[in-house]
Structure 1
Amino acid sequence: MWFKLSCLRRLWPALLLSPLILSLLLSPDLNREVFLAVHQGARMVPAVCWRLLNVLGDWPTVLALLLALSWRRPDKLPALLFGCGVGVFLAIVLKAGFAVPRPPLVLPPGAVQLLDDLPGNGSFPSGHAMASATLASFLYYSGMARKGLWLSAGVVLVMCARLATGVHWPLDVTVGALLGWAAMYGACRWAWPQGWPAGLSARLQSLMLPAVGLQLLWLLYKPGSHEEYGLRLAVCALVFVAGCWRWWRARLR
């Protein structure tokens, strides 16, 4: 019984998402109907709320947040690097391989109210759902957040935001969330669970900081057209400034 309960505690995201994914795979009409129901129902919420929620699934923003979280748990840096690396790789390969058209390109004109720019890549799987699940899984399996229910609610909100925005199907977000969870769960469990030497982790964290700086420069060079741009810019700037401060203090010691 202890073994079964421990497995349930560790694997419940997969146990919840797998039946839903199977149902959507077996019934394309259900995939379409769920999208239309969520997309139309989401119109009751201001569009700015959905766009701001999308920031929690934006890969550059999530990677900056994960870098900042690794400062608290440097022993989890291997999990961060491998989990995110696998997640980004899967998102790129699967999107290119399946090349699923996004809802506005398939549904009749007027059925979809786009709340943001339409991405030019494939729809399946959702990179935003994957990134948000990766962030939530890192928080949970690294022990920095014990409230798995609240973390899961945050991922579900990002999933709904992608449907509300009009750029993803339900199957995209459910598979994306499952892949993001699996990538980070496996990384936290098997990728050097005891961590790397402190000196190596500190050097790698310092090397990751310029990437945040480049992202900040890119945001300043190419400002967005919607409200979430300010949130993405603020998160990136805060992480970069905090990282530079940590690096300077370490140099003075």
Structure 2
Amino acid sequence: MWFKLSCLRRLWPALLLLPLAIPLAASPVFNRDLFLILHEAGRVAPGAFWRLLSVLGDWPTVLALLLALSWRRPDKLPALLAGCGVGVFLAIVLKAGFAVPRPPLALPSGSVQLLDDLPGNGSFPSGHAMASATLASFLYYSGVLRRGALLTAAVALVMLSRLAIGVHWPLDVTVGALLGWASMSTACRWAWPRGWPAGLSARLQSLMLPALALQLLWLLYKPGSHEEYGLRLAVCALVLAAGCWRWRRTRLG
């Protein structure tokens, strides 16, 4: 019984997502109709609400947050790098391989109220759902935040935001969240579970700061057209400032 209960604790995201992913994959009509229902229901909240929620699934923002979390759990840095690396790789390859058109391009004109710029890549799977599930899985399986219900609700809201904005199908966000969970949960369990030597982890964390600075410069060079740009910029700038202060304190100490 202990073994079965421990498996359930590890696999509960899959138990939630697979029963939805299977019928969505089997029935394109169900996938389309569910999108129309949820997209229409999303109009009860303003577009700014959904765009701000979507920032929690923005890969650059999530990577900045994960870097900050790795300062608290440096032993989980290998898992962080492995899980994110696999997630980003899968997102790029699957989007290019399936090349699924996004809802505004596949549905009749006027069916979708697009609330943000339409990305130019494929729809399947959702990178935002994958990134948010990756972040939630790291929080949960690293022991930083053992609040499964809260993390599930946060990921679900990011998934809904992509439907409300009008840029993803339900199958996209369901499979994206499933892949993000699988990548990070597997990494937390198997990728150097005892961590790397403290000195190596500290050096790698320091090397990530210039990459974060380049990301901040890129954001400043290409300003966004909506209010979520300010949130992305603030998260990146705060993590960079905290990282530089931490690095300086370490050097002086």
**2:73 pairs with 1:73:** yes
- Return the letter of the residue paired with 2:2: W
Match of 2:164 in 1: 164
Q: How does 1:192-231 map to 2 (within 5 A)?
A: 192-231=192-231
- What does residue range 94-109 of structure 1 map to in structure 2 within 5 Å? 94-109=94-109
Corresponding position of 2:45: 45
SS of the counterpart of 1:244?
helix
The Cα shift of 1:3 comes to: 1.2
Give how far 1:250 is off.
1.0
- 1:92-171 equivalences under 5 Å are 92-171=92-171
Match of 2:22 in 1: 22
Q: Which runs of 4+ in 1 moved over 3 A?
A: none
- Once the two structures are superposed, residues 122-142 of structure 1 have per-residue CA deviations (whole angstroms, 9 ceiling, x without a partner) of 000000000000000000000
Shift, 1:2, TM fit = 1.4
Aligned to 2:234: 234
Which consecutive residues of structure 1, in runs of 5 or more, have no partner in the other structure? none
1:146 Cα offset (Å) = 1.0
In 1, distance between residues paired with 2:167 and 2:237? 28
- The aligned counterpart of 1:13 is 13
1:61 positional shift: 0.3
The whole-number CA distance in structure 1 between the counterparts of 2:141 and 2:2 is 19
Q: Which runs of 5+ in 2 are unaligned?
A: none
Give 2:106's aligned amino acid: V
Q: Distance in 1 between matches of 2:19 and 2:219?
A: 39
TM-score (norm 1): 0.99
**CA distance in structure 2 between the partners assigned to 1:197 and 1:210 by the alignment:** 22
TM-superposed CA distance for 1:15, in Å, is 1.3
The number of residues matched between the two structures is 253
CA distance in 1, matches of 2:44, 2:12: 31
**SS of alignment partner, residue 42 of structure 2:** helix
Superposition TM-score, scaled by structure 2 size: 0.99
* Cα distance, 1:51 vs structure 2: 0.2
The code of the aligned residue for 1:210 comes to P
Matched, 1:58 2:53: no
Once residues 117 and 200 of structure 1 are traced to their aligned partners in structure 2, the CA distance between those partners, rounded to angstroms, is 40
- 1:71-97 alpha-carbon deviations (Å, 9 max, x no partner): 000000000000000000000000000
1:42 Cα deviation after fit: 0.5
Amino acid at match of 2:130: M
Shift of 1:59: 0.1
Cα distance, 1:230 vs structure 2:
0.3
SS in 2 for 1:223: coil
Aligned AA (1:21): A
- Tell me the secondary structure at the aligned position of residue 118 of structure 1: coil
Task: Tell me the CA shift for residue 64 of structure 1.
Answer: 0.2
In 2, Cα distance between equivalents of 1:18 and 1:221: 40
Aligned equivalents of 1:97 and 1:221: distance in 2? 30
| 1:235 Cα deviation after fit | 0.1
Structure 2 counterpart of 1:109, one-letter code:
S
Q: CA RMSD in A?
A: 0.5
